Every structure is written in structure tokens, then in C-alpha cells.
Structure 1
Amino acid sequence: MDIGIERIGFYTPNSYIDIVELAKARGQEPDKFTIGIGQDKQAVPAIYEDAVTMAAESADQILDDSNKKDIGLVIVGTESSVDESKASALFLMDLLDLPENVRAFEIKEACYGATAGLQMAYNFVSTNPGKKALVVASDIARYGINTPGEVTQGAGSVAMLISSTPQILKLENKSAYMSRNVGDFWRPTFSKTAFARGKFSNQIYIEFFETLWKRYQKEFDVTADDFKAMLYHIPYTKMGTKAMRTLEGKISDEKYAQLQAEYKYSIQYGREVGNLYTGSLYLGLLSYLINSAVTPGDELLLFSYGSGAVGELYSAKVCENFKQYIHVKNVQSLLNNRKKISISEYESIFSQSVRDGESVDPSVVTGEFYLSEIKENERLYKTKQ
């Protein structure tokens, strides 16, 4: 039985800042951010947007009455949870009008959460072949104004419908994974922004990739030549480049050059949006499927990493007529029609939030779903009419 991604949807906020303007405002050389980090734009969420609203936006693109009734599992992978008890997935039940006879919950493990959800969805569908699973990666990456991590912020969501009738990507149930208690990145419950040991985190990321690639080759008897492309978790696009460099000199120069060329297609959208945490790998996948010359039957290798740390390397095969099932024009329109805001506007938005007892004017909402108010410390959401 084939199992994999039947549909994929993407959302990012309507506003963004220019990374060159951010560099100048911070007294930095623009090349440090655009080349050294590898970013061009950064999404800026509105005060009425959070992990729930963005998850609803991306999932709504791929759901309709015919597939909603078949959903038996809903998982949101996020490290931007809005509640320490109630799962983001439960808010989606009403916003998306999903059936009650589902398991709905949230997974937290830094940027790995959505991959954990994807693998869990695979197992669910394998034992319930008539059912589908909705897996959503939704995050707001926040490090703070004028901090070292500011340039690697971002926001967005990627939703994937997993079923026994994959039309975009077939998961091959081949993976290598590892977990280790590492203090490279964390966000205590009292803090809205993350703490990170940047260089150390890069080191662990690369170490995990090298270790898993060796294990994967040995367990499944493969080489780099078996894959059309290698896709990476890319909180900033230069990070994947660093992992790929570990292959240099270990595979043929021709294959290394080809993998480098393919990688550039996977980072096009990441450069435009910024860090999606759990969604970064899957935005890279979407970018690659839309922008590259990949063909049905091509094998892809995907590297997922979540600080703390968990890593997984797994393979997938591109389905026949896959582009027919991706809303290419919608993705391009979403990115092209965003509004650029000034650095001062971004700083003002960053410091704002909806407070208890306050409500949001629906006329300012640009999307379909929004945080409408906080009442007695309860977050209430609405669909824009």
C-alpha cells in the first residue's frame, strides 16, 4: 500500500520586511544577512495571527467536504503553542469544521514536531487505509529586536494531507533517526522568545546529518547517486548549505555539483519568508517541487532536525502528475502580493499583542481566520465573514 502526501498547503502573513533594510537599521553590512545567513525577506505576523490561525489558513487550502469526512487524525507540530494545556489542533476542529471522530493533538519537539506528526500519520494510515491524517506545521520564530537571532525570524504554516492515495509524494518508510539531550536551543515557559547557542546549534545540526547519513547508507544500501535531491531543515537557508558541504570530497564532484544546484530550488521560498521552525523543511519541499525540474519517480532525501535534539533522515518518491495537485498559482500569488513594511512598523508590531479583555477589529484582518479576542484569559477565534 502506498502512503504519502495527497495535498499540501502553505500560508505566510501578509506583511514582510526587507532584510537589507534590517541590516542597515542594525548597523550591519547587508551581505552578512543576504549572503552569510542567506535571507532576503522576513514574514511579520499581525497581532491577530498565531500558530492556530496560520494552521487554519494552510489547512483550509487543501480541505473540502469530500476529504474532511475521511480525516481520523489531526496533528499540529509547533513550538509556538498558544496554551500550555489545550492543543492547537483542537481549535482547528471548529475553524475548519472537522468531524468529532478524530484524534487531535499537538506535538512539541522544536523544529522536528511536524516530522514526528508525519511519521505518526504514516503509521495511522497504514492501519486505517480508508482514513486520512491532517498534519500541520505552524510557527512564529521570535528572538527579539536587535538580537543575534533577529535575522532568522519568520512565520508561516505548511499543511499536509496524508493518505493511502498519495498524489504529490510517496513516503517510502525508510528512515534513520536519533535523539540526544543537547542544550543548543530552548524557550522556557515564561519566555516568548527563544534562547540559543548559535554556533553550537550549527555544530549539532551538522553532526546529526553526518551521523544519520552514514546510518541511512548502511541500513538501506544506498549512495548519494540514488537521490535526485537532498532537502534540509532550513531555519535560514545557509544552514542547509553547511550540512551539504560535509558531502564534498566524499561523493563525485559531478554529483555534488548537481545536489548543490537542486538545493537552490528548495530555498527560494525560504529566502522570501524566513524561519518557519517546524515548517521549514516542508516549505523547502514545496519550493523544490514547484521551482525545480524534478520528475515523477525521482527519489528525494529529507533531513529533519529539531534542537534539543532530534534528527531524522527519510526518503520519498515524487508521484505522477504531482504538480496538478499543488496550488502553484496560489502560492506564488501569496508571496507576490504581500505588503512590505518599514523596520519601525515591524518593531511596533513586534511589541504589540491582544490583551485579556480586548477584541480585534475584523476590518483589519487580511486572512480568513483570526484571533478575535481574549476573554477571561481564553483565546477565541473566528472566521472572517
Structure 2
Amino acid sequence: MINALKFVIRSASYGVMFAVVLLLLVPELRENNIVPWKFLSTTEKSQQPLSYAKAVRLAGPAVVNIYTEDIQVNPTYGRQPRKVTRLGSGVIMHEQGYILTNYHVVQSADLIVVVLQRGQELHAELIGYDVLTDLAVLKVQDNNLPVIPQISTLTSQVGDVVLAIGNPLNLGQTVTQGIVSATGQSGLSTSYLQFLQMDAAINEGNSGGALINSNGELVGINSRKFTQANPNLNIQGIFFAVPYQLARTIMLKIIEHGRVVRGWLGVDANDSLTNLKGFIIGTITPNSPALKAGLQSGDVVYQIDDIRLLNAKQGLDVVAEAAPGSILNFMISRDNQLLTLPVTIVEIPK
């Protein structure tokens, strides 16, 4: 009897020791929602599919369809005026009803109608536009407008996943996906080819829509696809968008002034390859501020006022963002001499 009792106690002890070791080696078994037979099962849990549905739900309501009508008078006597209808997209940027879109969507429009995702139609007023960036600001009167998520410090990187939301070919709101293949610039001197480049498809009607990241935050305003003079080249996957920070800057200037005012120097500039960073002046436009101030072709501009320059892009941005009539001190290197020349900036010619 005693031996049998010892055998039972010894067996129970071994069982307890085994259970303690198992719990120490496999912490998951200590969780309340884990049971041994589930842990020992070889069945793998199915993974949730990758989806951008949340991003689209956040940004989609703020992307609107834009329909414009242009009444063109026929010069031929007796002919009826012709009504031209265009379509595009826009992005609600502010709760007060400000909408960003492309200028070519609303150019020469006599009537602008904005259709929200929920189906509501609103008449829009053109506040102003900027030809160089192909942006326009509209305003609608309504309450409780959905505003697209924005981060003022957002910058894009090559390889970022982006989604283009718009109204291509009047099919209703659709989404295309791609990646950023080249980053854009944020200064007012930005040219078209310095915009965000990506391969998310932009078709007719997508123009002016939102380019968002996988969190639903605005990355840029969709512009158009790449075109060139040679129609025999089959170019695919090259589309452009205005970077968010540049688009926001343009919008604020248009809201404040009704247009974008840029300073102008009147030179061709290339990055300096010398020890002095900045830019080398190339061709100088006749009767320009640069010529009147005494700047010469070959001068290396390395500093403007207290801003030490790194490249030509930075220097031209300083000029573009200067108010017309302001005087900027250009510090240059000419024939191994350092000079300072005051330059009176004027508005860029129209």
C-alpha cells in the first residue's frame, strides 16, 4: 500500500514538474485565450489581405467631381453658340469650402459645378489660378464639408506607395495605385518637370484629384501624364502631381492675393561646380533686373542676403519668393574677386 502511494505521489510530482517546465518554455500557454490543444494544432491562421481601404475611406469623401461648361460663340452668322463640357476632379482643402484643382480643368469656364461623393451638387466660384503650376482654387458655400487629411511637414520619398483618386472618363470616383519614382520640389520657381513623378495612372478626368499615401494623407494634386513631341515613342508609367507643400503654398497665396506673385531675376542658372556652392549665371535676359544690377554671365552667386546657397534651385526660389520691388544683396565671385551687388527684384513678366 505504501509503495503504491509513493508511486502515485512520484507520478503526480513528475506531472507538475513537466507542466511547470512547459509553461516556462512556452509563454503563450499562460495566456487566457490559449489552450494546449489549440497550440499543438498545426493549422495556420490565414493572414488578412493587404488593403488600402482605410486610406481611401479617409480621403475619398474630400475628392470631388468637377464639371465645367464653356459657351463658345460661333463667328458664323446664324450659327448657335456651342457648349463645351469638361470634367475633372478636385480636393476639398479647407472646411470653409476651398477646393484645389488643375487650372486646365476650369480654364475659360462659364459654369463650374462641384459634385460631392455623397451626390450633392454645388456651384463653385473661381478664386484664382496659377498657370506655372496649373493649379486653381475654387470656393463653394456649404457646411460640414469633408476635408482631406493633411500633414504640413509631409515630404515624399522615392518608393512611397501612392494612390490617385479622381473621376476618370466620368466613371465616378476610382482609385489607381503606384509608387513615387521621383520627388518634387516645393519652391515657387519649380518647373513642371520638377513635380512629383509616379506611375499611378492619370487619365482624363483624374486631373485635379488627390494623390494620397497609404495613411490617407494628401501627397499631391494629380496633374497629367508625360507627353512629348515624338508620338512614335510608347511611354508608360510616367505621371505627374504637384507636391502637397507647393500646392498648399500656391493655394494660400491665391486666397490672400487672388493670384501668385513671383519675383524675377532674368537669368539662366546652373549649379556651381566650384568650391563655392550656389549657381553660375548663364544667359542674361535683356532689360532684366540682373542686367540692370551689373550681374554678368559666368558670375558665381554663392549667397543672397544672409542665405548661403547650396544650388541653383535654392537661389531661384529665394528670388521667386521675394516681393517685387524688394532689394536683395547678391554676393558673387567674379575673376577670383568677391563682390556684393544689390538687385531690385521685379514681378515675373506675364
TM-score, normalized by length of structure 2? 0.23
**Structure with higher RCO (Cα < 8 A, 6+ apart):** 1
Whose strand fraction is larger, Structure 1's or Structure 2's?
2
| Greater gyration radius | 2
TM-score, normalized by length of structure 1? 0.22
Whose helix fraction is larger, Structure 1's or Structure 2's?
1
